Amino acid sequence: MFQNSITRLFQIELPIIQAGMIWASGWRLASAVSEAGGLGIIGSGSMYPEVLKDHIQKCKAATSKPFAVNVPMLYPNLQEHIRTIIEEKVPIVFTSAGNPKTLTAQLKSHGIVVVHVVSSARFAVKAQEAGCDAVVAEGFEAGGHNGREETATMVLIPSVMKAVDIPVIAAGGIATGRQMLAAMVLGAKGVQIGSRFVASAEASCHLSFKQAVINSQEGDTKLMLKQLTPVRLLKNQFFSEVEQAEESGASKEELTTLLGRGRAKRGMFEGDMEAGELEIGQVSALLDDIIPAATITHNIWKEFNEAMINPLGE
């Protein structure tokens, strides 16, 4: 049986972590990945507190294996989510988009394992100083919110490895076993995978979004809205409006007005493929099927092991 610092930390079988993603990773996806031996994560950023509670309870009913909740710290009712997580005895929390000092001590005082998502070595050091048990180093290729510095995974992983002693989980541009092996050769102890799990049967996002993801080609995503919170978007009508506004020097206020409220829900959850905000990683260009999360997990693990036997493929 495979074991390393990440499988031991989370008490899981495979160092494959499904990313917490707004509108896509509810209890169905998280429990399916955990049942398959990886770590499933409920993405709480798009859930009202009572919705999160319901997802946690359903996840616990669907699997007895460990799972986690991702808490983006931009969330308006942050402490309500934290209260629910503590009450429901969620074993692991991934925090993101904020200062790791804000929540780590509180969560750890309840015996919760805390992992923070970072996009630079500087933030990784902050996470270690805050007492986090591990970091996710998420490179430029990743979907959704992303670092302003645009450091790609290939450079980010060794930089973060040099800067901290806690285990590093690689994210951004990883969807296959060979990509996983490459990240682990660089020193990562596990991988966090988002886009591949968006194109899964269990993801809660709209089928039209899943289809747009598997139909996308190389070059179809771009990091936008750097004046607000940088986010990697799939190209559509809304993307073009943002691009035009940015090229014509729109102010922060004008971009905020253009974004409006609930754009992400409209696109990814309600399936408005033109006016909605569609968040996905560069690696979507490599995906061409919508399959069960357990199959995704097993396929990645199988390819990882095959690649280890013959890494250069000669």
* CA dist., res. 223 & res. 36, Å (int): 32
Tell me the pairing of strands 144-145 and 231-234: antiparallel
Which one of residues 75, 140, 238, 239 is an interface residue with ligand NDP (CB under 6 A)? 75
Backbone angles phi and psi of 23, in degrees to 5: 65, 0
Contacts of 156 (CB under 8 A, 6+ apart): 119, 120, 121, 137, 138, 139, 140, 172
Angle between helices 293-309 and 177-185 (to 10 degrees): 60
Q: Name which of 23 and 304 has its Cβ closer to ligand NDP.
A: 23
**257 is a contact residue toward ligand NDP (CB under 6 A):** no
Residue 64 CB, shortest distance to ligand NDP, in Å, is 27
Contacts of 308 (CB under 8 A, 6+ apart): 181
**216 is a contact residue toward ligand NDP (CB under 6 A):** no
- Of 245, 223, 247, whose CA–CA distance to 235 is shortest? 223
**46 is a contact residue toward ligand NDP (CB under 6 A):** yes
Contacts of 129 (CB under 8 A, 6+ apart): 101
Which one of residues 4, 8, 48, 291 is an interface residue with ligand NDP (CB under 6 A)? 48
What is the pattern of x (binds ligand NDP, CB under 6 A) and - over residues 4-43?
A: ------------------x---------------------
Stretch binding ligand NDP (CB under 6 A), from 25-33, 72-80, 157-165, 167-175: 72-80
**147 is a contact residue toward ligand NDP (CB under 6 A):** no
Which one of residues 45, 139, 172, 230 is an interface residue with ligand NDP (CB under 6 A)? 45
Beta bridge partners of 240: none
- Which chain residues interact with ligand NDP by CB under 6 A? 22, 45-48, 72, 74-77, 96-97, 144-145, 261-265, 279
